[in-house]
Chains A and B, each alone.
Chain A
Amino acid sequence: MPSPAAARETASVHHLPNALPEHPDNPGVPFDLDPVAAVRVNLSAVERRAATLPGRRTVKKEWQAAWLIRAIECIDLTTLSGDDTEGRVERLCAKARKPLRDDLKEALGLGSRRLTVGAVCVYHRFVATAKAALEGSGVPVAAVSTGFPAGLAPFETRVREIEASVADGADEIDTVITREHVLRGDWKALYDEVRAFKEACGRAHMKTILGTGDLKTLRNVGKASMVAMMAGSDFIKTSTGKEGVNATIPVALVMLRAIRAYREMTGHVVGFKPAGGISTAKDVMTYEFLMKEELGNAWLQPGLFRIGASSLLADIERQLEYYVTGRYASFDHHAMA
Chain B
Amino acid sequence: MSIAEILDDLDYGPAPESDAEARAWLARHKEGTLLYIGGEWRRPKSGRFFDTADPATGAVLAKVAEAGAEDIDDAVAAARKAQAKWAALPGHERAKVLYAIARMILKNSRLFAVIEALDNGKPIRETRDIDVPLVARHFYHHAGWAELQGQEFPDRVPVGVCGQIIPWNFPLLMLAWKIAPAIALGNTVVLKPAEYTPLTALLFAEICAMAGVPAGVVNIVTGDGATGELIVRHPGIDKIAFTGSTEVGRKIREATAGSGKALTLELGGKSPFIVFDDADLDSAVEGVVDAIWFNQGQVCCAGSRLLLQESIHDAMIEKLKARLATLRVGPPLDKAIDVGAVVAPVQLERIRSLVAQGVAEGARVYQAKCEVPGKGLYFPPTLMTNVQPAQTCARVEIFGPVLVAMSFRTPEEAVALANNTEYGLAASVWSESVNLALDIAPKLKAGVVWVNSTNLFDASSGFGGYKESGYGREGGREGVFAYTRPAWLRKAKPLAEEKPEKAELGAAPALPGLVDRTAKMYIGGKQQRPDGGYSRPILDRGGKLIGEVGEGNRKDIRNAAEAARKAAGWASASEHSRAQILYFIAENLSARADEFAARLAALSGARRTIARAEVEASVTRLFTFAAWADKYEGLVHRPPFRGLALAVNEPVGVVGIVAPEAPALLPFVTLMAAAITTGNTTVMIPSESAALVATDLYQVLDTSDVPGGVVNIVTGDRMKLGLELAKHDAVDAIWSFGPRAMAEAFEKASTGNLKQTWCETVVRDWTDDRISAGRDTLAHATQVKNVWIPYGE
Contact = CB atoms under 8 A, between A and B. Distances in A.
- Categorize the interface residue count of chain A: 35 or more
Contacts of B15: 58-60
A11 B125 CA distance: 32
A125 interface: no
A59 B336 contact: yes
B282 interface: yes
B2 A62 contact: yes
B432 A40 contact: yes
- Categorize the interface residue count of chain B: 35 or more
A62 B3 contact: yes
Nearest to A301: B10
B17 to A, nearest CB: 10
B452 A11 contact: no
Nearest to A323: B3
Interface in A289-319: 292-293, 297, 300
Contact of B6 (A1, A48, A62): A62
Interface string A1-45: 110100110111110000000000000000000000000111111
B3 A55 contact: no
Given A1-B281, A40-B280, A63 B6 contact: yes
Nearest to A288: B10
Given A10-B315, A59-B15, A219-B793, A45 B453 contact: yes
A56 B312 CA distance: 28
A231 interface: no
B155 interface: no
B408 to A, nearest CB: 16
B10 A257 contact: no
B335 A257 contact: no
A110 B4 contact: yes
A38 to B, nearest CB: 10
A110 B321 CA distance: 37
Contacts of A49: 283, 286
Given A62-B2, A110-B4, A297 B281 contact: no
Interface in A263-293: 288, 292-293
Contacts of B277: 2
Nearest to A64: B13
A237 interface: no
Contacts of A13: 318, 322
A2 B309 CA distance: 11
Contacts of B286: 45, 48-49
Nearest to A256: B282
Contacts of A47: 792
A56 B7 contact: no
A44 B452 contact: yes
Interface stretch (A65-73, A79-87, A137-145, A197-205): A65-73
Nearest to B325: A296
Contacts of A10: 314-315, 318-319
Interface string B423-460: 00000000010000000000000000000110000000
B315 A70 contact: no
A42 B13 contact: no
B556 interface: no
B311 A66 contact: no
B14 interface: yes
A111 B129 CA distance: 40
A326 B535 CA distance: 94
Interface string B335-371: 1101000000000000000000000000000000000
Contacts of A292: 10, 326
A59 B290 CA distance: 22
B792 A2 contact: no
B2 A11 contact: no
A63 B281 contact: no
Given A10-B315, A44-B452, A44-B791, A66 B6 contact: yes
B382 to A, nearest CB: 18
B11 interface: yes
A110 B10 contact: no
A45 B789 CA distance: 11
A300 B338 CA distance: 21
Given A2-B277, A60-B14, A257-B282, A43 B6 contact: no
A196 to B, nearest CB: 31
A7 B791 CA distance: 26
A300 B280 contact: no
Contacts of A300: 10
Interface string A103-143: 00000111001000000000000000000000000000000
A61 interface: yes
A194 to B, nearest CB: 24
A325 interface: no
A56 B283 contact: no
A56 B318 contact: no
A7 B283 contact: no
A42 B280 contact: yes
A45 B311 CA distance: 22
A57 interface: yes
Interface in B1-60: 1-4, 6-7, 9-15
B279 interface: yes
Contacts of B70: none
Contact of B792 (A44, A57, A109): A44
A62 B125 contact: no
B720 to A, nearest CB: 54
29 contacts: A1-B281, A8-B314, A11-B318, A13-B322, A14-B318, A14-B322, A40-B432, A41-B280, A42-B280, A42-B283, A43-B793, A45-B280, A45-B283, A45-B452, A45-B790, A46-B283, A52-B129, A58-B15, A58-B335, A58-B336, A63-B1, A63-B11, A66-B6, A109-B2, A113-B4, A218-B793, A292-B326, A293-B326, A297-B9
Given A11-B317, A57-B12, 20 more contacts: A7-B314, A10-B315, A10-B319, A40-B279, A43-B791, A44-B790, A45-B452, A48-B286, A48-B290, A48-B453, A55-B125, A57-B336, A58-B336, A63-B6, A63-B12, A67-B10, A108-B3, A218-B793, A293-B326, A297-B9
